[in-house]
Structure 1
Amino acid sequence: MRSLILLGLVGFVAQLVDGSLGMAYGVTSTTLLLAIGTNAAAASATVHLAEIGTTLASGVSHWRFDNIDWRVVLKIGIPGAIGAFAGATFLSSLSTEVAAPVMSIILLALGVYVFVRFTAYGLPRGNLGKPLRKRFLAPLGLVAGFVDATGGGGWGPVGTPAILASGRIPPRKVIGSIDASEFLVALAASAGFFVGIGSENIDFAWVAVLLLGGVIAAPIAAWLVRHIPPRILGSLVGGVIILTNVRTLLRSDWIDAPGNVQAIAYIVIAFLWVAAVAYSLREYRRDKANESVEAIEAELRARTEEEKIYT
Structure 2
Amino acid sequence: MDDYDIALLALGGIFSGVLAGFLGIGGGVVLVPMLVAFGFAPVQSVATSSLAILVTSTAGSIQNWRMGFLSWRRVILLGLPAVITAQIGAFLAGKVLPYILLAAFGVLLLVNIYLVELRKRLVGSGVNPSKLMTPLMARLVTGGLAGFLAGLFGVGGGVIMVPLQILLLAEPIKTAIQTSLGVIVITAISACIGHGVAGNILVVPGLILGVGGLVGVQFSTRFLPKLPDQMVSLLFRSMLALLSLYIFVQAWQSYQGFGPLASEYSISIL
Q: TM-score range by the shorter chain?
A: 0.7 to 0.9
Q: Identity percentage over the alignment?
A: 23
Residue of structure 2 in register with 1:163 after alignment: 165
Contact 1:50 1:211 in 2 (8 A): yes
Q: How many residues align?
A: 247
Range 14-23 or range 124-133, more displaced: 124-133
Alignment of 1:15-54 (within 5 A): 15-23=17-25, 25-54=27-56
Contact 1:67 1:172 in 2 (8 A): no
Partner Cα separation in structure 1 for residue 69 and residue 130 of structure 2: 14
Range 91-100 or range 11-20, more displaced: 91-100
Alignment of 1:163-242 (within 5 A): 163-166=165-168, 168-195=170-197, 197-198=198-199, 201-242=200-241
Residue of structure 2 in register with 1:143 after alignment: 148
Q: What is the CA deviation profile of residues 248-299 of structure 1, one whole-angstrom value per residue up to 9, with x for unaligned ones?
A: 2244239989xxxxxxxxxxxxxxxxxxxxxxxxxxxxxxxxxxxxxxxxxx
When residues 159 and 96 of structure 1 are mapped into structure 2, their CA distance, relative to the original with a 3 A threshold, is farther
**How far 1:245 moved relative to its partner?**
0.7
Partner Cα separation in structure 2 for residue 82 and residue 41 of structure 1: 22
Residue of structure 2 in register with 1:263 after alignment: none
**How far 1:71 moved relative to its partner?**
3.5
- Structure 1's unaligned 5+ residue stretches are 258-311
Secondary structure of the residue aligned to 1:252 is: helix
Q: Which residue among 60, 80, 88 is the counterpart of 1:58?
A: 60
Q: Which residue among 73, 76, 79 is the counterpart of 1:77?
A: 79
Alignment of 1:119-130 (within 5 A): none
Range 248-257 or range 97-106, more displaced: 248-257
Contact 1:88 1:189 in 2 (8 A): no
Partner Cα separation in structure 1 for residue 15 and residue 63 of structure 2: 16
When residues 65 and 94 of structure 1 are mapped into structure 2, their CA distance, relative to the original with a 3 A threshold, is farther
Higher relative contact order (CA 8 A, sep 6+): 2
Partner Cα separation in structure 2 for residue 97 and residue 255 of structure 1: 5
When residues 91 and 202 of structure 1 are mapped into structure 2, their CA distance, relative to the original with a 3 A threshold, is farther
Secondary structure of the residue aligned to 2:252 is: coil
Runs of 4+ in 1 over 6 A off after TM superposition: 85-94, 254-257
Residue of structure 2 in register with 1:109 after alignment: 111
**How far 1:143 moved relative to its partner?**
1.8
**How far 1:154 moved relative to its partner?**
3.8
**How far 1:203 moved relative to its partner?**
2.3
Partner Cα separation in structure 2 for residue 63 and residue 14 of structure 1: 20
Contact 1:85 1:188 in 2 (8 A): no
Look up the equivalent residue of 1:143 and give its one-letter code: F
Partner Cα separation in structure 2 for residue 90 and residue 128 of structure 1: 28
TM-score, normalized by length of structure 2?
Answer: 0.78
Q: What is the CA deviation profile of residues 95-130 of structure 1, one whole-angstrom value per residue up to 9, with x for unaligned ones?
A: 53221211221221111342x669xx79x7985997
Q: What is the root-mean-square deviation in Å for CA atoms of aligned residues?
A: 3.4
Contact 1:22 1:175 in 2 (8 A): yes
Residue of structure 1 in register with 2:261 after alignment: none
TM-score, normalized by length of structure 1?
Answer: 0.68
**How far 1:54 moved relative to its partner?**
1.3
